[in-house]
Structure 1
Amino acid sequence: MKPGDARVLLTGAAGGIGQAVAGALVEAGAAVLLAGRSAAALSAQSRALQPQPDPARVHWHQVELEDFGSIAELARVASDWRCNVVVHGAGLPAFGRLEAIDPAEMHRLLQVNLLAPMVLTQALLPHLRSLPQAQVLYVGSVLGALGLPGYSVYGASKAGLRGFAQALRRELADGPVQVQYLGPRSTRTRFNSAAARAHAEQTGTASDTPQQVARALLRMLGDGTPERFLGTSERAAVRINGLAPTLLDAAFSGHRRHLPPAAPPSPPTPATATAPRA
């Protein structure tokens, strides 16, 4: 789809990659509906992005992706706004040994990274199917195709998102809705914790700027590529891992050795044992 024809709902718009994507979309001529958790951040971002002489191309809506009612309201607003492109960019990080990650953190991460995009897509499908052309793009991660030590929980969320996108792409292949998956590699934003950044430096992990990810996303919207991973060596590793996963086990031993030590999380108390309300 040409940027000038695109009306893009962008979740995670105020994040590092989200801000770069929003700027690139507006600069290319697209209309953008910014969605995120902080109304103040979205309002300021909207004002900064207002294109002249057509400021009406940028709007925003506050959403809580852990709340199904809030997701349903966003879907209603986006449908009324006549969005024809959905970019699922929202996400939460998790880094460290599995025994160091609290179950409540796992629940919240899977809710935001995996379940929310699924529920939002489901809510928007009737509207998107009514259009001559529509696109749904999931911003995942190369870690959704490569199981890396220290990223078991985060990688699981992105692997699930990739599997969902792949199945949905095939399910909707005979209609107007095109489904895509973008897998960035490590990106230089505040999304990554200090421990994750230190681990990346120790293991020589290559990274990109948010602007590089935004340019790749814009290319995908234009050329219709179903799936793309960033980084030459990362793309090769994804192919090898898909064909013979155990061949790469030894290649990531350095990533395992450089993981920070961690004590197990404290056992949940009765007040925290109940999963957060969706």
Structure 2
Amino acid sequence: MTNNNILLTGATGGIGQAFSQLLFSSGANLVLVGRNQAKLTQLKAELLASNPEAKNSVVSFVVDILQPAQRAHLIAQLALLPFEVNVLINNAGVSQFKLFEQASESEISHIMTTNTIAPMQLTQALLPLLKQCDKAQIINIGSTYGSIGFPGYTAYCASKFALRGFSQTLSRELADSNIRVKYLAPRATQTSLNSSEVEKLNSELNSAVDSAETVAKALLTLIMQSSEERYIGWPEKLFVRINQLFPSLVSQSIIKQLPIIKKYANSSSG
């Protein structure tokens, strides 16, 4: 990992912090991007406490990637770094557990912009720099719900379906370049961002829930390997494949869970 100089968005989130810690301990140089200065400062301090001699290996920027001017400023700052960014990890994102008819227009717009449009725009802005590297990677953090539509997560699923489509298409578009585009699809993950309703739903449905550290290990594997997609968890991997081939079978299974899903979705919305 010593040759990887990684720009990570959403660095201070539950999964983002786990990503930061594992990537740093593996020898990567990090550009941490987030919206909260205090959390970024704390995360950077925690990383350097484990290896004070690597003080030049971690930099942080307070950036709202939804804002074009802030994205442009970030790109300009990258040219001043002591290392050349060659890996972009689009991790920043939001989720929402709510019935679609109860979601506001602004909520839907925010989810789509944060999870799909902003990562696309940041990627586009960074492409000229990545093309200057010998080898580069773009890794989009998606979800199992980017392949399986699940009630209560309509807007979120739509945003991750779109992110997966973006990843696949850009990968093919850049196949003759030095840039590889990859997609990581975690399943349910335990973070402080999960609402109590989501935790209750996962418990009642007996859904497997991974730790953020488990997802971070999968990310590290994806960076090091040549594969372009990695799905985390069984039977989720199987459900993704079945949903591609026989979606009605997955629909039947999910519809049986619908009363439980709506019970907690209504509670979440109320």
* TM-score of the pair, normalised by structure 2: 0.94
> In structure 1, what is the Cα distance between the partners aligned to 2:204 and 2:256?
9
In the other structure, the counterpart of 1:228 is 230
Local SS of the residue matching 2:52: coil
The residue correspondences of 1:169-248 to structure 2 (distance < 5 A) are 169-248=171-250
Question: CA offsets, 1:72-103, max 9 Å, x none?
Answer: 22222234432100111111111121112111
- Distance in 1 of aligned mates of 2:79 and 2:235: 39
**Letter of the structure 1 residue corresponding to residue 207 of structure 2:** T
Question: What are structure 1's unaligned runs of at least 5 residues?
Answer: 266-278
Contact preservation (8 Å) 1:10, 1:35: yes
In 2, Cα distance between equivalents of 1:79 and 1:139: 25
SS in 2 for 1:255: helix
1:269 match: none
Q: Which residue of structure 2 aligns with residue 272 of structure 1?
A: none
2:121 aligned partner: 119
Structure 1 residue aligned with 2:68: 68
Matches within 5 A, 1:37-76: 37-50=35-48, 51-76=51-76
Deviations 1:6-33 (A, max 9, x none): 0000000000000000000010000001
* Cα pair 1:65 1:111 within 8 Å, conserved: no
Cα distance in 1, alignment partners of residues 257 and 144 from structure 2: 15
In structure 1, the partner of 2:15 is 17
Find the aligned partners of 1:164 and 1:104 in 2 and give their Cα distance.
23
In 2, Cα distance between the equivalents of 1:35 and 1:17? 13
Alignment counterpart, residue 93 of structure 1, candidates 87, 95, 98? 95
| Deviation, structure 1 residue 209 | 0.2
Instruction: Confirm or deny: 8 A CA contact 1:79 1:124 kept in the other structure.
Output: no
Residues 66, 108 of structure 1: 8 Å contact kept: no
Deviates more, 1:214-223 or 1:52-61: 52-61
**8 Å contact kept, 1:203–1:254:** no
Shift of 1:104: 0.6
What is the CA-CA distance between 1:65 and the residue it aligns to?
Answer: 2.2
Verify the 8 A CA contact 1:184 1:213 in the aligned structure 2.
yes
Which among 119, 136, 151 is matched to residue 134 of structure 1?
136
Q: Relative contact order, CA 8 A, sep 6+: which one is greater?
A: 1
Moved over 2 A (4+): 75-81, 260-263
CA offsets, 1:108-128, max 9 Å, x none?
111111011000000000110
| Cα separation, 1, equivalents of 2:204 and 2:182 | 32
How far apart are the structure 2 equivalents of 1:224 and 1:73?
A: 32
TM-superposition CA deviations, 1:101-158 (whole Å, max 9, x none): 1111111111111011000000000110111100000011000001111111101100
- Counterpart for residue 270 of structure 1: none
What TM-score does the superposition give when structure 1 sets the normalisation length? 0.91
CA drift of 1:71 comes to 1.6
**Aligned residue for 1:162?**
164
Decide which structure has greater helix share: 2
Q: 1:36 matched to which residue of 2?
A: 34
Q: Determine the C-alpha separation between the residues in 1 that align with 2:105 and 2:205.
A: 27
Tell me which moved more, 190-199 or 214-223: 190-199
Contact residue 148 and residue 255 of structure 1 kept, 8 A: no
